[in-house]
Amino acid sequence: MNILFVCTGNTCRSPMAEGILKQLAEQHGIPLAVQSAGVSAIPGAPAAEHTVTILKNRGVELQHASQSVTPALIEWADLILTMTGGHKEMLIHYFSEAIPKTYTLKEYADEPKNWDIADPFGGSLEHYQQTERELQEFVEKILRKLSK
């Protein structure tokens, strides 16, 4: 299965989610291909310093250059998980073919309340660690859902 995480600039949340899912899927022997992209990404930008630090502390070496969402990525993905409802709406608006496979990460994990994961961009390491904990929780839930 091919999974695409989408956020705004593809430097914080989506690459962190990508790294976490790749690590957990490998640990559980679940074959997944995972990428990330942004709805307003500047192609080629590195991941945020705190994102790199957090993933490195987890033992994940991230080789990342930001990329924008493209028709080819939409076609590649079997499942598209966005960080906010706004990201989901934007994708559906521009890529109608993505409608049946696009969810917010929390929506897909059956979170009935707030579907948004706050953007840590420009925040402290602690702010990024809070995002990491939230992503960890919901990535674990979707991994359980996918392994059924």
* Tens-digit pLDDT profile for residues 20-30: 999 999 999 99
Residues 6+ apart with CB under 8 A from 90: 39
State how far the alpha carbon of 12 is from the alpha carbons of 4, 67, 144, in Å.
14, 12, 24
Whole-model pTM?
Answer: 0.97
Does the annotation count 144 as an active-site position?
no
Query: What amino acid occupies position 91?
Result: L
Count of CB atoms situated within 10 Å of the CB of 109: 19
Token duo for residue 72? 């080819």
Q: For the chain, how many structural domains are there in total? A: 1
CB-based contact 17:46 (threshold 8 Å) = no
Arithmetic mean of pLDDT over the chain: 97
Q: What is the CATH classification number for the domain harbouring 141?
A: 3.40.50.2300
pLDDT digits (tens, 9 = 90+) for 72-100: 999 999 999 999 999 999 999 999 999 99
Domain coverage including residue 100 = 2-146
Does the annotation count 7 as an active-site position?
yes
Q: Which of 7, 58, 78, 110 is catalytic?
A: 7
pLDDT tier, 148 (very low <50, low <70, confident <90, very high otherwise): confident
Query: What amino acid occupies position 33?
Result: A
